[in-house]
Structure 1
């Protein structure tokens, strides 16, 4: 019953998310503004660029559009937009970590949910608000590890688990930092353009370190598997929670101590403006590309957060190991506050893994709380 309800919710959220980022962006003038600048081969602040990045016309056109979108995020002139993207990027480390792990599970080999690189590239080109609820719904439909998880079906190639933090650091985190560095002091305008384009390809990095399936199934191998899973989860949650707390601290400092900031910065960082997007069903119009990008990121982040949070809850409480355990207020309130909704979703998956591996190693069931 839980899984069926969550599946229906996520399918509905897929269509809603598509409207929130694409329908609303078309109606408020954001897409038209991006198209005009892309055709002129300039970004928001007037910096020109060549749109010949790869020599492939279709790919270069996509990169030019994404460059126009992301430039005001990292140019340092839009603190609210930059902080919103900082939060989304930090939380997305948790999303991408658990997505790759789920795709590598032995029980999902060659199923649709295992093609996480394709999912990641679609996120980059069509938006997380559209693809994330679609992928999580597909995952709940197409994998046997949801209601019948076991050590064998949840196992991941150990070489992939060892490489995962490095691939995410090199492919996602490093380019994110590089394109956010101030110009011209630490990075040139041209190198920032390159960094933004390189960052778009981060989903390809998890294919650089292919993993070999585990050939044994012993208690020692199970313990090693769980240790490696824990390292990946701790890596992702340390980043997601740090970014979550830093964002809340900055935002509520603007509310409680506005004198610390310029008036415009205090207004943009105010929790009401940072976390609450506009009504997408009204005839709102953007004042410029930064505002359009800000609204897009807000809806993208919220939809992804809700999808992964609900999906993580479903995995945590739908399996047989969780029967009779109803959760607590901490699960749905306190945990997202400290970890963020995406980080909380990962923590639920982690708890599911702990229970399954504990039951398999000890011959019985054990309730486990990782936080």
Structure 2
């Protein structure tokens, strides 16, 4: 294991500890955890329903809504878990706080793309041979129970420790990185059907499209999203395998097809996280540069500092209500989780560069500026995807070139 891998693991461990402080300890200290208990006691929370509902001092219309999603009664533990998740998610999807909605949109894109990278790693040829790396269900379970910020760094440490692509980088072969056509189709289909479509229902207006109770059910039962993605991936794989075949005409064709598959996957993952980030950044900057387009209250809510920057976890600030505490937690979840993904991928990319000869290495200054620009404009997870995409391109381009030279030499 190279020094770069060890250094990356150390940074990821620090991010896990920071995630524990910023999410759990800070949530207790700022009063957010106490706010989450109120709906359990009252059995209801505030949510917009109609123009006839009462108006609060923030200018938005509310009405007391019973906390009662469909499909309760299966088990006490499951009911409690679903309701806890609903209490946390509802302020982001009830339509009363545009800043909270933007925070969720940004997080959802980054978290979905990050999980897609985890699945991508699991279906590479070399990881299929190592069952410990192929089965990622436990990590998905931990993510939706204990947060993106604390679990993603731990997965990254585990991956860097066990993956032969990192521990035996000089011995890895281009075919070890390959993702076949079946998994390419299944990856994109499962992410679209089991992640993007349900999340779109989060934005459905109440009661025009969904009743408040149906929307509560969608939100509560979407907590184990990685399970729905895995199930959809398996079903799609079963059907697609019957009519999709990997190219077997030659080594060059195999690597060209693999490169095409990877481009499709990474392009989709990049769009999944970059598009929401660009939308959120554009709206927030508009509120900063042209505040007259919004009412004074909304201009303040949509300000970049309010959307992107949570308070310090070492501060003594208190969450005035549930919405603000939810927003702070999700902001830190996004920042730490996305940074962990970038550190994980950057560790892999630099390790590859250090294994090459000096004439083939990238410019470190150029790499730094690219990361900064990608992170600001498209988000840290998108920057990580670009790096992983570039790494695979380097590996497959070299493999194709070597295969062509070998074929030429064999010709009489």
What TM-score results when the alignment is normalised by the length of structure 2?
0.83
Residue by residue over 1:238-290, the C-alpha shift from the partner in whole angstroms, topping out at 9 and shown as x without a partner, is 23222221111111111111111122211111111211111111222111110
Q: Tell me by how many angstroms 1:44 deviates.
A: 4.4
Q: Which residue of 2 aligns with 1:354?
A: 393
Corresponding residue to 2:316 among 277, 283, 293: 283
Residue 252 of structure 1 contacts residue 271 of structure 1 at CA under 8 Å; is this kept in 2? yes
Structure-2 separation of matches of 1:341 and 1:56: 39
Structure 1 159/29 Cα, relative in aligned 2: closer, same or farther at 3 Å?
same
Q: Is the deviation greater in 14-23 or in 145-154?
A: 145-154
Corresponding residue to 1:202 among 225, 232, 242: 225
Structure-2 separation of matches of 1:157 and 1:145: 17
Corresponding residue to 2:362 among 325, 341, 345: 325
Task: Determine whether 1:298 maps to 2:298.
Answer: no
Q: Tell me by how many angstroms 1:215 deviates.
A: 9.8
Task: Determine whether 1:143 maps to 2:163.
Answer: yes
Q: Which residue of 1 aligns with 2:135?
A: 115
Structure-1 separation of matches of 2:258 and 2:387: 18
Residue 180 of structure 2 contacts residue 261 of structure 2 at CA under 8 Å; is this kept in 1? no
Residue 76 of structure 1 contacts residue 82 of structure 1 at CA under 8 Å; is this kept in 2? yes
Residue by residue over 1:103-149, the C-alpha shift from the partner in whole angstroms, topping out at 9 and shown as x without a partner, is 21222234544333322222111111111111111111111112344
For residue 310 of structure 2, give the secondary structure of its aligned residue in structure 1. Answer: coil
Q: Which residue of 1 aligns with 2:116?
A: 97
Q: Tell me by how many angstroms 1:167 deviates.
A: 0.6
Structure 1 35/316 Cα, relative in aligned 2: closer, same or farther at 3 Å?
same
Q: Which residue of 2 aligns with 1:369?
A: none
Q: Tell me by how many angstroms 1:27 deviates.
A: 1.2
Number of corresponding residues? 365
Q: Tell me by how many angstroms 1:16 deviates.
A: 1.1
Residue 15 of structure 2 contacts residue 336 of structure 2 at CA under 8 Å; is this kept in 1? yes
CA RMSD of aligned residues (A): 2.3
Q: Is the deviation greater in 168-177 or in 208-217?
A: 208-217
Q: Which residue of 2 aligns with 1:263?
A: 296
For residue 220 of structure 1, give the secondary structure of its aligned residue in structure 2. Answer: helix
Task: Determine whether 1:22 maps to 2:12.
Answer: no
Q: Which residue of 2 aligns with 1:127?
A: 147
Q: Which residue of 2 aligns with 1:240?
A: 273
Structure-2 separation of matches of 1:177 and 1:335: 26
Corresponding residue to 2:377 among 322, 338, 341: 338
Structure-1 separation of matches of 2:43 and 2:176: 49
Q: Tell me by how many angstroms 1:39 deviates.
A: 4.5
Unaligned ranges ≥5, structure 1: 365-371
Task: Determine whether 1:192 maps to 2:218.
Answer: no
Structure-2 separation of matches of 1:286 and 1:108: 44
Q: Which residue of 2 aligns with 1:368?
A: none
Q: Is the deviation greater in 217-226 or in 56-65?
A: 217-226
Structure-1 separation of matches of 2:98 and 2:328: 14
Q: Tell me by how many angstroms 1:315 deviates.
A: 1.4
What TM-score results when the alignment is normalised by the length of structure 1?
0.91
Q: Is the deviation greater in 8-17 or in 315-324?
A: 315-324
Larger radius of gyration: 2
Residue 237 of structure 1 contacts residue 343 of structure 1 at CA under 8 Å; is this kept in 2? yes
For residue 47 of structure 1, give the secondary structure of its aligned residue in structure 2. Answer: strand
Unaligned ranges ≥5, structure 2: 48-63, 404-412
